[in-house]
Amino acid sequence: MLHATELLGAEAYDAQGNFVGRVTELFIEPADQPNRVARMLLGRGKYLPLVVRYDHVASVAPGRVRLNVEEKALEHYRPNEAWLAVQKDLLDQQIIDTDGRKVVRVNDLNLAEQRTNGTIELRVTQVDIGLTGAVRRLLQGLAPPSMIRRIQAKLPARLIRWEFVNLIEPDPLRRVKLRMTPQKLERLHPADLADIMEKLSPAEREAIIASVDEPTAAEALAELDARLTTQIVEKLDPERAAGIIEEMEPDQAADLLAGLRPETSQELLREMPGEEAQEVRALLRFDENTAGGMMNPEFVFVGETATRDEVVEWIRSKDVDLDQLDTVFLIDGEARFSGAVRLSRLLLAAPDQRMVELKAEPLLWVPPEAEDKEVFELFDKYNLRSLGVVDQSSRPIGAITVDDVVSRLRANQ
C-alpha cells in the first residue's frame, strides 16, 4: 500500500533510467474509472510540466516512480476540469463521510497497487482522516520514509473507504464533468443531511441543495436551522426553489417563506402551483408565534357519524400524508369542528363503532390567534399528539402536530 503524500514529490525516471521530474499532482478521472489514479503530473522546474498516463507506470515506491516509456512519449499538461486533483481538490479539504454521516477533513489517501499486464495501476482505497495521515503530512520529506512508516504503525488509524467519500463541489458544471451524483446523499436521513450541511460553508450547502432531488432537498431544508434555510433559498434559482418548497409541508413552507425577503417570497409563490400557493398564502397571514403560524392546513377530517370501517376505507383510498395521521378530526352535519379521534383508539375500535363514541374528552381546540405558549401548555397538560385549529365560524382550518411543538420549543430555548 502507498500513500498519496509518499507519491507527491516523488522523483520520476523514464525507461532509460533518466530523471524526468517530480510528481506534483495526481489526477483521478471519475468519468472513466472512479478510483483509479489516471494521470500523474510531473513538474520540471522551468520547463512545461508533463503528464504520465496510468499505463506508463512500470513501478512505484515511496518517493520514486519508474516509467515504462521515454520522456519523449509524455504529453504536455493541459488543465482539465474533468480530472479530480488529489492535492488541490482532496488533501486538506472537507468531504462527507456518508457511512459515518459526518463532515471530515482529508489528511491523506491510501492507494493500492494493482499489476495489470506489465504496468502498475494505483487505486484509491481509503481516505485517511486520522493521526497517521497527519504525521505523514508533517514529516514527509523531513524524515526518512521508513521512519515515518514505523511511527505511523503505532498510531490508531481513522480511515474512510473511498466508496463512502462524497466530495462537495460548488461549481455545477464541474460536478457534471466529474460525474458527481447525489445518490449517496439522497440515501442519508434528511436530518443527518441537515446536520452535515450545518458543518459546511454557504457555497457547499447551496451545492448540496442544488444537486439532490426535490423531495430530499425539501426534507433537509425543513430540518435545517432557519437562518441557513433562508440563506440557501435566496441563492437558488427561483424555479428550483419553488419546486422544493412545493414538496414541503405547507406549515414548513410558510415558515420558510416568512423568513425571506418579501419580493423573493412573492416571486416563489407565483412560481408554485395555484392550490399549494393558496394554502401557504393563507398560513402566511398568521403571526409565526401563534397557533395559525404553527398549524398545517393539510389534515384528515371525517364526519362524526361515520363508522370505523368507513373511515379506514376512506383514508386508504386517499393519498394522506402519514405525518398528519396521528389524529382524525371530526365535523358535524354543518361542517363544524366537533372532536378528535386518536389513531390508537381507531385501531382498537370495533368495525361498526361510530366516530362520536371514540372522540377524546375533553373537546380541545385553539383559535388561530392563540399564542404558542398556550398551545404548548395544552400539549403538555393533555399529552396531545395533535390539536385542531378552529376559526370563528367553528370550522377546522388546520392541525398542529407534536413535532411542530417540539421543534418550536427547541428553537425558543
Partner 1 sequence: MNWTAISARLESWRTRGQAVRQRTRRIRRRLAVFLAVVGPGLIVSNVDNDAGGIYTYSLAGAQFGYTVLWSLIPMTFALYVTLEMCSRMGAVTGKGLSDLIREQFGFRVTFFVMAAVLLVNLGNVLAEFAGVASAMQIFGVSKYVSVPLAAIIVWVLVLRGTARRVEKIFLAVCVVYLAYVVSAVLAKPDWMRALLHLLPPHALQWIPAAKPFVVVPRIDGSYLLILAALVGTTIAPWQHFYLQAAVVEKRVGPRQYAHTRKDVLVGSISCMVIVFFIIVCTAATLYASGHRHINDAAEAAQALRPLAGRWASVLFALGLLNASLFAASILPLSTAYVICEALGFESGIDRKFSEARIFYWLYTAMLVVGGGLILLPGAPLIRIAVLSQVANGFLLPIVLIFVLLLVNRRDLMGELTNSRGFNLVAWATSIAMIVLTIVLVYAALFRPGEALGISPGLP
Residues that bind partner 1 (CB under 8 A): 91-93, 104-105, 107, 129, 134, 137-138, 200-205, 225, 227-228, 231, 234, 287, 369, 413
Long-range CB contact pairs, 190-195, < 8 A, 24+: 190/216, 190/219, 190/220, 190/222, 190/223, 191/223, 192/101, 193/220, 193/223, 194/220, 194/221, 194/223, 194/224, 195/101
Kindly state the smallest distance separating residue 25's Cβ from partner 1, in Å: 13
Kindly state the smallest distance separating residue 57's Cβ from partner 1, in Å: 25
CA pair distance 249, 262, nearest whole angstrom = 20
In one-letter notation, the amino acid at residue 60 is V
CA pair distance 364, 113, nearest whole angstrom = 69
In one-letter notation, the amino acid at residue 364 is L
Cβ nearer to partner 1, comparing 68 with 231: 231
Kindly state the smallest distance separating residue 182's Cβ from partner 1, in Å: 20
Q: Establish how many alpha carbons lie within 13 A of residue 398's alpha carbon, considering only the half-sphere containing its beta carbon.
A: 24
Cβ nearer to partner 1, comparing 31 with 226: 226
Q: Sort strands 119-128 and 159-161 into parallel, antiparallel or unpaired.
A: antiparallel
Cβ nearer to partner 1, comparing 49 with 259: 259
Extended beta strands in 288-385, E state: 301-303, 327-331, 337-342, 365-366
CA pair distance 60, 312, nearest whole angstrom = 68
Cβ nearer to partner 1, comparing 134 with 302: 134
Instruction: Find the distance separating the first CA and the last CA of the chain, reported in whole Å.
Output: 50
Cβ nearer to partner 1, comparing 57 with 197: 197
Backbone angles phi, psi at 120, to 5 degrees: -110, 125
Cβ nearer to partner 1, comparing 257 with 300: 257
| 86: number of Cβ within 10 Å | 24
Kindly state the smallest distance separating residue 231's Cβ from partner 1, in Å: 4
Cβ nearer to partner 1, comparing 271 with 369: 369
Cα 266 off chain centre by: 27
Kindly state the smallest distance separating residue 271's Cβ from partner 1, in Å: 21
Kindly state the smallest distance separating residue 228's Cβ from partner 1, in Å: 6
Element (H, E) at 123: strand 119-128
Given the C-alpha cell 516512480, which residue does it identify? Answer: 65
Q: What is the DSSP letter of 80?
A: -
Cβ nearer to partner 1, comparing 112 with 138: 138
Kindly state the smallest distance separating residue 312's Cβ from partner 1, in Å: 41
Kindly state the smallest distance separating residue 205's Cβ from partner 1, in Å: 8
Kindly state the smallest distance separating residue 32's Cβ from partner 1, in Å: 27
Cβ nearer to partner 1, comparing 156 with 351: 156
